[in-house]
Amino acid sequence: MIGFSLRWTCVVLWVGFAFAGDSRSRAVAEDFKQLPPPGISLDADDRASLVDRVNAIQAKIVAAKSASDDADAWSPDVEVLVRSVRLALEQNGFYKASEVKDAGRLLDEAQRRLQSASSGKRGLALLADGRLGSKEPLPVIGGFKSDIDDSVQPFGLVIPAGYTADDASTDSKYRMDIWLHGRGDTKTEIAFLKERMTKVGQYSPGDTFVLHPFGRHCVAFKFAGETDVDEAIQHVSELLEVDSDRIAMRGFSMGGAGVWHLGVHQPSRWFAVNPGAGFVDTIVYQGWSQKMPFELTDTRRKLLNWYDVLPWVTNLRNTELVAYSGEVDKQRQAAERVTQAAGQQGIPYQHIIGKGMGHKIDPPSAQKIDAILDDLASQQMPAPRTKIDFVTYLLRYHRSDWLSVDGLTQQFQPGHVVAEVVGDHAIEMTTSGVTRLRLDFADSGWPADRQAVTLDIDQQQVLLTDTSETAGLQVDLVRDESGGAWLQSTQAITGLQKRPGMQGPIDDAFCQRFVFVTPSRPATHGRVQRWIDRETKYAIRRWETLMRGQANVVQDTEVTDEMIQTCNLVCFGDFTSNRLLAKLAGQLPIQWTKDGVSVGDRQFDPVSHVPVFCYPNPLNLDRYIVVNSGMTFREFSNVSNSRQIAMLPDWAVLSVDSEDDGIFAGDVVADGFFDEQWKIKRDEVAND
């Protein structure tokens, strides 16, 4: 992990205070649910005692890290416990009187781990505290350092009964199930860690690790919560011998919603997906079919294709679906809609119904599901996978096994590929809406020799020559723009072109490593400056509370080369006040001067309007510049995870004079997507 010398909003030794928030946030909270909600008042002595303990243990951690040559191997497992208490104190996040004792127990465990780490214990030995080999499944808790913001995020892990240190030292690989938890508005870090250190959970299959990601608390494992699931899997896979071919994605309620979207977005990653209840879209689940609470423009309708599951159902061909619903559960709707769509496409699935059950999994159904997954886990997947049927609407999700879609005709419109290995040196493929592909058989080593492979694609034949130095065919294909023919390419994607990980929209920038960059000078127009001040505070506060993150903030004069290389730069200010934006202004597609805001051929009054957008950083085209925006879903989304959706596309122009309605930061007077070369779509601006 690369570290920065930033002016952090969090300091190493914390002094207790009540984070009141700005007046604007309080005004919004009167109309919309606060998430997380405000907690209870603590006894003054209890608060003072916890503050003293947090500061004392944190000081010891700092000293121990400075004396350690492998602090990254143990410190997150200690710091995650201390941070949970510190955040609860900072953010008024105690919800029960009993949580004061729970906080004390977490701090006790932090002290124990600090002592164990100093004696050389690492990994599972540090987490389990000599309890490996238990006759019952063993729940433990840990932490990992998020690459997004360097915050330490928690996870729970269940070790199978009888698993010992000797097992950990063998070459045997174990199945792992990921369990995504349900919604609990007050189940922030303390409650999550307490539950995960004392309870095994809904399922604990034999000879199986069960990973419980925190997923940034209450965002249905979307956005940064989705990244956290990936990072938790990676972290635990470095601690344990996990069989990457036997990972199942499972969950219930909000967790079921997370399983639905992760299942269709990354289908070949899981040998099975087992969602229970949840939701699979926004409009139907929210009951907005007849009346929307905001205008459903064409742009916003396209954005729904990010997390709405039904457009992606085709991808369930690449995994095994085992859905669960309570017979009388209102959330049965999700599974019924997906299974209907899957049935129409001839996709096999199993839908288990809990007889007489509401929002709960009954024991007979749980046993049946476990038996099905045990059987699926025992089956051997052919290497390579012989057939892939993959659709994507967004290049963030571009891969299914050996197939990668690296270019789309248009983001948020379907790109579809059906590919099949039909012989020792032959592949057949049909495509639509796709402009660039990569085939990578490195994992399977196919074909066994290095002979050329014949590709029949869209009624064309291409002879593929493997130029890689490693085993397995690895080639790139690009569609010729003039004639539509597919050609093998030896050129990497360069320049301004939408590609996996750099395709927008604005919210995508907050799924990766980023830093807030504040202006060192005032904006040209006072009304705009007041809006910028307000939105800067809001974006930081929203990240720290809703996303349980660490807001890393630097001024425009403090941006380093390292930040440019590794971070998305989220810049607030106009093109005069923010020195970084001033430096890049001539290379950005939207112009902003004291006389006007220019988007394509359209002009906006700079006194009362502000542009917000994401764009490849001209100083590093592998990272974003984001202008004047944090995450685009606001307090309106707090009431339901199905409302936590991207509300703005690649760019927008907002009025700074309109009131914040909890949905948008101001009236949206124009918005749109850049084209696949990151250029303004003239017709889109003109029609707004």
Closest CA to 464 of 421, 427, 423: 427
Beta strands in 14-147 (DSSP E): 138-145
Provide the pairing of β-strand 453-457 with 426-432.
Answer: parallel
Phi, psi of 245 (to 5 degrees): -85, -5
pLDDT for 660: 86
- Cα separation, 587 vs 604, whole angstroms: 19
- Cα separation, 145 vs 79, whole angstroms: 10
pTM confidence score: 0.94
Provide the pairing of β-strand 590-593 with 596-599.
Answer: antiparallel
- Token reading at 654: 């907002």
| Confidence label for 169 from pLDDT (cuts 50, 70 and 90) | low
- Cα separation, 4 vs 6, whole angstroms: 5
pLDDT for 481: 78
- Is residue 167 packed enough to be buried (19+ CB in 10 Å), middle (13-18) or exposed (0-12)? middle
User: According to the 3-state scheme, what is the secondary structure of 590-601?
Assistant: EEEECCEEEECC
Residue 92 identity (one-letter amino acid): N
Task: Check pLDDT > 70 for residue 665.
Answer: yes
Higher pLDDT, 6 or 19: 6
- Token reading at 645: 């959706």
Phi, psi of 55 (to 5 degrees): -65, -40
Task: Check pLDDT > 50 for residue 557.
Answer: yes
- Cα separation, 566 vs 619, whole angstroms: 11
Q: pLDDT tens for residues 145-162?
A: 999 999 999 999 999 999
Closest CA to 220 of 292, 307, 297: 307
| Confidence label for 491 from pLDDT (cuts 50, 70 and 90) | confident
Beta strands in 433-506 (DSSP E): 434-440, 453-457, 460-464, 474-479, 486-489
- Cα separation, 136 vs 130, whole angstroms: 14
In angstroms, what is the C-alpha Rg of the chain? 25
Task: Check pLDDT > 70 for residue 239.
Answer: yes
Q: Name, in order, each residue with C-beta under 8 angstroms of 56's C-beta and a sequence gap of 6 or more.
A: none
Tell me the CA end-to-end span of the chain in Å, nearest whole number. 44
Closest CA to 111 of 152, 173, 72, 61: 61
| Confidence label for 494 from pLDDT (cuts 50, 70 and 90) | confident
- 349's enclosing H/E stretch is none
Task: Check pLDDT > 70 for residue 514.
Answer: yes
Domain spans of the chain, in order of start? 387-489, 506-686
- Cα separation, 197 vs 184, whole angstroms: 17
Give exposure, 523-556, as e/b (b: 16+ Cβ within 10 Å).
bbbebbbebbbbbbebbbbbbbbbbbbbbbbbeb
Q: Name, in order, each residue with C-beta under 8 angstroms of 245's C-beta and a sequence gap of 6 or more.
A: 271, 381
- 363's enclosing H/E stretch is helix 363-378
Q: Which residues pair with 325 in a beta bridge?
A: 353
Give the residue carrying structure tokens 């124990």. 112
Alpha-carbon dihedral 121, 122, 123, 126, rounded to 10 degrees: 30
- Cα separation, 73 vs 69, whole angstroms: 9
- Cα separation, 137 vs 200, whole angstroms: 7
Region 639-645: mean pLDDT is: 98
pLDDT for 143: 98
Phi, psi of 232 (to 5 degrees): -65, -40
pLDDT for 681: 83
Neighbour count for residue 642 (Cβ, 10 Å)? 22
- Cα separation, 654 vs 91, whole angstroms: 30
Region 413-427: mean pLDDT is: 97
Give the residue carrying structure tokens 């700074």. 656
Task: Check pLDDT > 60 for residue 19.
Answer: no
Task: Please report the sign of the dihedral spanned by the C-alpha atoms of residue 302, residue 307, residue 310, residue 316.
Answer: positive
Q: Are 604 and 558 in contact (CB under 8 A)?
A: no
- 403's enclosing H/E stretch is strand 403-408
Minimum mean pLDDT among 88-92, 169-173, 446-450: which range?
A: 169-173
Closest CA to 612 of 581, 636, 640, 641: 581
- 62's enclosing H/E stretch is helix 44-66
pLDDT for 26: 35
pLDDT for 1: 35
pLDDT for 12: 33
Eight-class DSSP state of 682: H
- Token reading at 29: 């909270």
Closest CA to 180 of 130, 139, 233: 233
Task: Check pLDDT > 70 for residue 8.
Answer: no
Query: Cα–Cα distances in Å, from 503 out to 24, 40, 117, 395, 622?
Result: 32, 43, 42, 6, 10
Closest CA to 251 of 236, 270, 237: 270
Q: Name, in order, each residue with C-beta under 8 angstroms of 184's C-beta and a sequence gap of 6 or more.
A: 191, 218
| Confidence label for 17 from pLDDT (cuts 50, 70 and 90) | very low
Task: Check pLDDT > 70 for residue 314.
Answer: yes
SS3 187: coil
Task: Please report the sign of the dihedral spanned by the C-alpha atoms of residue 103, residue 107, residue 113, residue 116.
Answer: negative
Query: Cα–Cα distances in Å, from 530 out to 522, 533, 534, 656?
Result: 10, 5, 6, 9
- Token reading at 249: 């994605």
- Token reading at 297: 């423009």
- Cα separation, 183 vs 641, whole angstroms: 9
Length of the chain: 688
pLDDT for 378: 96
Helices (H), ranges, 491-560:
526-545
- Cα separation, 109 vs 45, whole angstroms: 21
Average pLDDT of the chain is 93
Region 269-277: mean pLDDT is: 98
Region 340-362: mean pLDDT is: 96
Q: pLDDT tens for residues 576-615?
A: 999 999 999 999 999 999 999 999 999 999 999 999 999 9
Q: Which residues pair with 419 in a beta bridge?
A: 388, 429
Minimum mean pLDDT among 205-214, 274-283, 476-485, 575-584: which range?
A: 476-485
pLDDT for 685: 61
Minimum mean pLDDT among 69-78, 600-609, 677-686: which range?
A: 677-686
Task: Check pLDDT > 70 for residue 3.
Answer: no
